[in-house]
Amino acid sequence: MNSLIKIAQPRIPIQLTTANFDEIDHESYYTNCQFKDCTLSNTRLESVCFQHVVFINVTFDNCQFIRFECLDVTFEGCNISNNEWIGGTFHRIAFKDTKLLGTNFAESSIVDTHFDHCIGNYSSFNYASMKLVRFQDSSLIESEFFEVKWKKLDFVTCQLDRMSIMRTNLNGLNLSDSEFESLAVSINLVKGCKLNAGQALIIAHSLGILIV
């Protein structure tokens, strides 16, 4: 198993007020509260901030957030699929049992964040900056990590089939206990990536190397 990096947990107060999306607008700021069993649909907002917030069984449906901030936030059992969260700031975040199929996190800053038992197929993290981030027991089939800048990034027992990680430096990245049948990488940036024997054969074949 990958050596697990130490990730700071969201700082969530013991006492939380109950919140909803009834009055959400541009530049809304929510703190020390919990959203549960609710939905936000077909919304385009700028400069919304959630800090010290818990989302439980919440659905974001076709939402576009611009300059979005999440600080010390937990998503549990949520569905955030097919949203545009481009250029967001995500610090000390826990995504647990959450669907993020097709969601776009491009150009985001993601720090101290744990994706645990999530479904992130077709999601995009292109041009993102990641530090102290772990994907664990999650599916990232056909996801995109194009030109990602990272430091201390873990993929632990994940499904990575047909993931594209082009123009991202893989030196030191450990994929050995995750699974894929194909993986798109840049040949000049794959040196130092930690793979098991079967994965190394897959990468070699994709690069046109014949093993006899």
Could you tell me the two tokens for 206? 């994709």
- The DSSP bridge pattern shows strands 39-46 and 59-66 to be parallel
Question: How far apart, in Å, are the Cα atoms of 50 and each of 31, 64, 67, 89?
Answer: 6, 15, 12, 10
pTM of the model: 0.94
Could you tell me the two tokens for 136? 């664990």
Q: What is the residue-wise DSSP string for 41-104?
A: EEEEEES-EEEEEEEES-EEEEEEEES-EEEEEEEES-B-TT-B-TT-EEEEEEEES-B-TT-B
Q: Locate tokens 């123009």: which residue? A: 167
Residue 9, number of CB atoms within 10 A of its CB: 12
Q: What is the pLDDT of residues 113-164, one digit of tens each?
A: 999 999 999 999 999 999 999 999 999 999 999 999 999 999 999 999 999 9
Sequence letter at residue 22: D
pLDDT value at residue 204 = 82
Q: Which residue segments constitute the domains of the chain, with CATH numbers given?
A: 17-206 (2.160.20.80)
- What is the gyration radius of the CA atoms in the chain, in angstroms? 18
Query: Per-residue pLDDT averaged across 181-200, rounded?
Result: 92
Q: What is the pLDDT of residues 50-108, one digit of tens each?
A: 999 999 999 999 999 999 999 999 999 999 999 999 999 999 999 999 999 999 999 99
Q: Locate tokens 């772990």: which residue? A: 134
Could you tell me the two tokens for 11? 């700082």
Res. 211: pLDDT tops 70: no
Q: Locate tokens 């669907």: which residue? A: 99
pLDDT value at residue 1 = 56
